[in-house]
Amino acid sequence: MPNIKKKFIIFGTMLAFLLLFLTACGKSSSKEEGTTEDPTVGFTAKKDYVVTTANDTIVYRTPDFDGEKYDVLKTGVNLRRTGVKDKWTRIRLNDTVLYVETSKVKETQMEWATEQEEQVNSHVVFIDPGKQIYAMSATETLFPNDTAEGAKKKKKMTKGAVGVASGIFEYEVTLDVAEKLKHELELRGYTVFLSRASHTASISNGERAVAGNQSGAEIMIRLSAQATENPETKGILGFVTSAENPGTGKNYENSFYLANSLLTEMCSATEVNRIGIFQTDELVFLNYAEKPAVSVQLGFLSNAEEDQKLSDEEYRKLLARGLANGVDTYFSYVDGKAKGNQP
């Protein structure tokens, strides 16, 4: 009997230690699970604006310094704040929930727009980065739906220019500036569409304009960086269709104002020579556009000086910022006119 009693005591002691071990493990497991809690929860709700205070303000997809980066913003960018937590500020950018370090922003006095105001203020812009890798020898009519016998036709896409000094291709310059312009406009609340997203696209000039018409865009901007036989030619210029154009004449006034706004702001941003605005009914893209449209020559790749500038990342940013400022100027005028505030 004493031996049996002793065995029960030993068994009971071992069972107690086992239960204690299991309990400890359970607590440890619970603690580990707690450390993997979703970092995007627990934010105190906010509904106001903040402005970036540093040129290296990193926007993250999650509140994690080791997480994926969405963008890097410069000083002075207004952001919609939706929440705060610890060292993080939650923002809304391009209809996406994102995060910035709180120390990189400060509050502003901007008022939060209502959903209705956002709809009104979100103008739609279509950008056509001129050219592509492949030329298209097939033709399309100079004017849309022109079925008349002997209707004038042009090649769907001609070969782009090449930098005389850098060897860079026109389609590279136009797409990069277009992407920078899209980004800048979206930061300002615009809805933006591009005619192409790659260099290997195979889209004619007419098809690009049709895509712009179907996008619901209010204005259409075509970007080019062509070459000319005179290597001394340099500067920025714009093209619009004439007031007599059978399809686009009704948009002449607004197209001209848009071209003037873009060129004025681009020259201000880059300090480059302004050549002027030219009227032509020989560009398929402009003829097919149903809304105010302009073709902007960013510079000449046949001029060694401008070729080097167009190859520079910072210079392209200046071009994009100038174009965006021009878009702002245009819509301020159009919106004011609609409200009776412009002559």
Closest-CA residue to 223 (of 259, 177, 292, 284):
177
339 pLDDT band, cuts 50/70/90, is confident
Amino acid 343: pLDDT? 57
Rounded to two decimals, what is the model's pTM?
Answer: 0.68
Q: What are the boundaries of each domain within the chain?
A: 44-107, 117-338
Amino acid 276: pLDDT? 97
136 pLDDT band, cuts 50/70/90, is very high
36 pLDDT band, cuts 50/70/90, is low
Cβ-contact 171, 195 below 8 angstroms: no
Report the CATH architecture of 117-338: 3-Layer(aba) Sandwich (3.40)
CB within 8 A of 80, min separation 6: which ones? 48, 49, 91, 92, 93, 112
Question: Of the ranges 4-8, 66-70, 218-222, which one carries the lowest mean pLDDT score?
Answer: 4-8
Of residues 249 and 30, more confidence is placed in: 249
Written out in words, the top-level CATH class of the domain with range 44-107 is mainly beta
Q: Using one digit for the tens of pLDDT, what is the confidence trace for 103-121? A: 999 988 766 655 554 544 5
38 pLDDT band, cuts 50/70/90, is confident
